[in-house]
Structures are given as structure tokens and as C-alpha cells.
Amino acid sequence: MTSNAIDLAAELQFALSLADAADALTLPRFAARNFTVDLKANQTEVTEVDRGTETLIMDLIRAQRPQHAWYGEEHGSGGDGEYTWVIDPIDGTSNFVRGVPVWATLIGLVHRDRGPVLGVVSAPAMATRWWGYEGSGAFCNGHAIHVSDVTSLYDSHLSITANDAWNSAGKSQNIARLTQTVKRVRGFGDFWQHMLVAQGAVDIAVDAIGLEPYDIAALVPIVHAAGGTLSDRTGTPNWRADSAISTNTALHNDVIAILNS
């Protein structure tokens, strides 16, 4: 059985309802600045809003999609189904904590064999939501989006998150070469840079090394539906990887070649 065995348009409506529920919880708490902050074992920040949002979403999934499995950043995984909902309740928690509006709830639907088939990225503090699914187009606030038509690295705009893990991987010179080759470099970070690729505002997004599946799953279907490519840093399509490189497709091989030369 493939992803065509279910109605992805109907699953999109369910995913959008999950995003509505998440936004109704996260945005007022962000605006009021009334939440606690803890550090996880890996020293990354987590708030009570992260945990509460994931609980809310997972409860809705278990109630309305009992045949599906689930996997989230804060509360782990469960269920046994051909499809799994993969949730990051707040991608960009550090921004959320500091009052920067660039954070989002990531909602991905992953098929056991085909990988991510549907994604919703909801950034309520930016009043922006992106979505797309296998076999459809990609959309931002209801408007169709598409990657850029830039074909030369020398004319391209790059967003990059070059964290210490890139240095530890021995890729500092590769990163430097890429930034020196493109026309303009920015650092939009997290989900946003990949959504900017999907809507054609940025041509390349190079994420940090150290990602988790819930950082990537929701992004893949949107970038692909917009005509782009998203892979790990070796060029392999892998939503479980520790890295994510998205481009307008025309530039992907050139970017991967520089990062691995």
C-alpha cells in the first residue's frame, strides 16, 4: 500500500486543524512571556509551552487518527501504523524564549516506505503558514509558491547555519568556499530558510549539523511540492539525517559537490 491509499487532501485539512490548535496555545503564551524554561540533557532549551503543545497535538492525533503512529520531540513515539505523524511543537525554541518571532510548529506525515508525504509549517508570530503534500503544489497563506529559477551559484542567495559541528566534521573550508561562491549570504535559520527556498526568496539553505527527524520531516514535502530538493549534506534524501540542504534543484548538485569536495 502506498501513500495514495489515503486521501492526502483530507489529511492536510486535519494537519491544518492541528496547526490551528497549536497556534491558539503558543501565540498567546509567546506574547504574554509567561512560561518556564528548562535545559534538556543536551543543553538545548525547552519550555512548558513546547511540552504542552506537543501533548495537545498528540492527544488530537490519538483521538482522531488512532490508526496512525506518532513521534514528537518532547514525548517520544507510539502507535503502530503505516503512517506516522512527526511533530516539532516549537521549532526555534531559543527564538521563542528570547522574543524573536521566528519559530513554528512543524507537522509532518510520514509513510513507512515513501518517507514524508505531507507537511505543514505554522509560524503564528509571523502570521505565516506553509503547506504541501505529495502530488500537490506548495502554498504559503493559501498562495501557490515555487522555488526560484536561478541556475548559477554566482547569482544565488544562500542562507546558512554554520554551527561548530560543521567545523568538527572538517568542513570549514567547504563552507567558506560556498559562501565565497554565491552572490549573497544570510542566516535566516531553522525552518524559515527552507521555506524561503520553497517560495523562491532564497535559492539555497544549508542547515546546522545536529538536526533530528522532527526538524526535517515537515519541510521535505513542502520543498518538494514547490519544485525544490531537500537532502542531507551528502546529497542523500533522508529525513532521519542530522543535516538538511534545500535548494531550487538546479543548484543542488553544485552545492553538494562543494560541501563534499
Q: What is the pLDDT of residues 92-132, one digit of tens each?
A: 999 999 999 999 999 999 999 999 999 999 999 999 999 99
Q: How far is CA 12 from the centre of its chain?
A: 16
CB 133 within 8 A of CB 119: yes
Per-residue pLDDT of the chain (261 residues; tens, 9 = 90+): 344 478 999 999 999 999 999 999 999 999 999 898 888 766 678 889 999 999 999 999 999 999 999 999 888 789 889 999 999 999 999 999 999 999 999 999 999 999 999 999 999 999 999 999 999 999 999 999 999 999 999 999 999 998 899 999 999 999 999 999 999 999 998 999 999 999 999 999 999 999 999 999 999 999 999 999 999 999 999 999 999 999 999 999 999 999 998
**3-136 in CATH: which number?**
3.30.540.10
CA dihedral sign of residues 22, 25, 28, 34: negative
Fold exhibited by the domain 153-260: D-Maltodextrin-Binding Protein; domain 2 (3.40.190)
Domain ranges of the chain: 3-136, 153-260
CB atoms within 10 A of CB 126: 13
142: which 3 cell numbers? 493559501
| Percent helix, strand and coil across the chain, each to the nearest 5 | 40, 25, 35
Identity of the amino acid at 62: R
Supply 65's cell numbers. 487518527
Rounded-to-integer distance, Cα 30 and Cα 186, Å: 25
Q: Which residue has the cell 483521538?
A: 63
What pTM did the predictor assign? 0.95
Average pLDDT of the chain? Answer: 94
Non-local CB neighbours of 54 within 8 Å, separated by 6+ positions: 72, 73, 74, 75, 87, 89
